[in-house]
Structure 1
Amino acid sequence: METIKKDILNYLNNKSFMDGNTQLNDNDSLTQNGIMDSIGLIELMDYICEKYSIEIPEDMLTPENFDSLQGITDLIVKLTE
């Protein structure tokens, strides 16, 4: 699970969605903190699908699953089990 979190953080840093000095807690809102916008979210979903060889069901495209590092990690874990 920690590997997934680090991977997502690296993705966010590499895509310039956040400053390298930004402190992001597991449950911080990516949208409310200005780290992610709607286009960034689509790019992140594409990255997750490709990186983890998964498809994200439409009913799992919810703010709870994509607005925090913990939500994204939990979703990936659930879909890769």
Structure 2
Amino acid sequence: MQSIEQRVRKFLRETFPVANETELTAEQSLLESGVLDSIGVLNLMTWLEREFAIYVEDHEVVPENIDGIGALVRYVESKRAEAGLTE
């Protein structure tokens, strides 16, 4: 089974062509690097909900939770723990 980080990286590479142009570090900004724009954020949030069986609250869509692969992994882990889900 792939880790959360591997699944997020695969989704980004398959969905956003800019993600293939550089090797993204875990803490690199997805917004500043041009991987995500506002529509991309919506697409990503929808995918996170479906892929990880979580519900993303509107107030949680902030850079601290979504602007980097590391931030996304931590966010998904916390949401899954909150819901009592494990990998």
TM-score (norm 1): 0.89
Letter in 2 for 1:46: T
Q: Is the 8 A contact 1:29 1:68 kept in 2?
A: yes
**How many residues align structurally?**
80
RMSD (Å) for aligned C-alpha atoms: 1.5
Q: String of CA shifts for 1:8-37, please: whole Å, max 9, x gaps.
A: 110011013434351111110001011111
Pairing of 1:1-81 with structure 2 (within 5 A): 3-81=3-81
User: Looking at both structures, which has the greater relative contact order when contacts are Cα pairs under 8 Å and sequence separation is at least 6?
Assistant: 1
Per the TM alignment, residue 60 of structure 1 is displaced from its structure 2 partner at its CA by 1.6
Worse-matched range after superposition: 41-50 or 19-28: 19-28
Q: Which runs of 5+ in 2 are unaligned?
A: 82-87
Divergent runs of 4+, >2 A: 16-21
Q: Give the conservation status (yes or no) of the 8 Å contact 1:17–1:36.
A: no
Q: Which amino acid aligns with 1:18?
A: V
CA distance in 1, matches of 2:29, 2:80: 23
Note the residue ranges of structure 1 that are not aligned, 5 or more in a row: none
Higher deviation after alignment, 10-19 or 41-50: 10-19
Is the partner of 1:44 in helix, strand or coil?
A: helix
